[in-house]
Amino acid sequence: MAFPPDATLADAGEFGLIAALTDLFDQGEHVLIGPGDDAAVLRVKTGHVVVSTDLMVEGRHFRRDWASAADVGHRAAAQNLSDINAMGGRATSLTIGLAAPADLPVQWALDFARGFAEECALVGASIVGGDLTRADQVVIAVTVIGACTQPPVVRSGAQPGDVLAIVGRQGWAAGGLAVLGRGFRSPRVLVEAYRRPEPPYDAGQVAAEAGATSMIDISDGLLADAGHVADASGVAIDVHRGAFEIPEPLQAVGAALGDDPLQFILGGGDDHALLATFPDVASVPTGWAVVGAVAEGSGVTVDGSAYDGPTGWTHF
């Protein structure tokens, strides 16, 4: 279905827009019935099904002037796919709820959906259902369903003596966000990292198979999420400052903004790196970097001391 270039959601109407959106979504073989009925129908094999849900609110989790609709689609999908990755699973199916003002351009919704679908295609997941309604601001609600071929890796399994390791870019998106917040658009590589994170989608399952004892995706910030693992596992986690090489663009941003670039790495979310614990260094898979250690006790320290920089994201 073609819409005039300046058409809004109100012009398109609910059913016309839903039809145009669902046309964008290819269905995998496990999808027996896709969008359009009271519910989608999936074929599943006996085992563990993993489920996660996330909200993104305009003005809080994204700004339409800081990222294109396709970027927002990529990010919305990435943060959900990453939750399944962090369990050691593989995402198979997602639903999208889109609440939006009636004057939202149809093109924004279509570009958002296209970006979302492209990100899902990276892991072979299908968009099997959704809902569309009017609201004062854009709210995106995503639920993702995945499968695990081995027992899921939870936050509560870290043991004293384990090593802490990370995979994926960390601090890049936070650096990009800091740049955008000051009205700049460069370094481009950081702004792009914020707009389209590149989570290490294959790493979760590999870590699970390698015997990771706990795992989490970094969305609140490295120290904050390490804190969730420490709390859930009843252990202390020490992060080693020297384990991080500060990438050149982060050094540049730190210098330009007068910020310690390490705070992007220790406090930033949005890259969806994975943080996991392993019984020993030998079991840490290729591509992961050892960045700390687990001990008896509680809480998170940096080189043995409390960290006094910003440590993450508070939702209220």
99 interacts with a copy of itself by CB under 8 A: yes
For residue 120, which amino acid is it? Answer: C
Of the residues 24, 49, 189, 289, which one makes contact with a copy of itself according to CB under 8 A? 49
Build a one-symbol-per-residue string for 220-259: x at contacts with a copy of itself by CB under 8 A, - elsewhere: ------------x---------------------------
Given the complex with a copy of itself, which of 63 and 188 has the nearer CB atom?
Answer: 63
**Residue ranges in 8-37 that form contacts with a copy of itself under rule CB under 8 A:** 9-10, 12-14, 17, 32-33, 36-37
Task: State the Cα–Cα distance between residues 272 and 81, nearest whole angstrom.
Answer: 10
Among 4, 23, 26, 53, interactor with a copy of itself by CB under 8 A = 53
Q: Kindly indicate which of the ranges 135-143, 168-176, 184-192, 237-245 contains the residues binding a copy of itself, using the contact rule CB under 8 A.
A: 135-143
Q: Which residues contact 260 (CB under 8 A, 6 or more apart)?
A: 254, 309
| Separation CA 73–CA 111 (nearest Å) | 8
Site size with a copy of itself, rule: CB under 8 A: 71
CB of 73 to a copy of itself, least distance (A): 17
CA dihedral (118, 122, 124, 129) positive or negative:
negative
**Which residue in the set 21, 25, 50, 174 belongs to the binding site for a copy of itself (CB under 8 A)?**
50
Partners of residue 147 on adjacent β-strands: 49, 90
Q: Is there binding between residue 197 and a copy of itself (CB under 8 A)?
A: no
Pairing of strands 31-33, 90-100: unpaired
* 3-state class (DSSP) for residue 229: helix
Toward a copy of itself, which CB reaches closer, 231 or 259? 231
- C-beta of 48 vs 64, nearer to a copy of itself: 48
The CA distance from 7 to 3, in Å, is 6
- To a copy of itself, the closest distance from the beta carbon of 250 in angstroms equals 26
Nearer to a copy of itself, 33 or 252 (CB): 33
CB 210 within 8 A of CB 285: yes
User: Is residue 49 exposed (0-12), middle (13-18) or buried (19+ Cβ within 10 Å)?
Assistant: middle
- Length of the chain, in residues: 316
Stretch that binds a copy of itself, among 143-151, 189-197, 253-261, 302-310 (CB under 8 A): 143-151
**CB atoms inside a 10 Å sphere around CB 41:** 12
CB of residue 20 to a copy of itself, shortest distance in Å: 13
Among the listed residues 21, 25, 52, 221, the single contact to a copy of itself using CB under 8 A: 52
Please report, as a single letter, which amino acid is at residue 138.
V
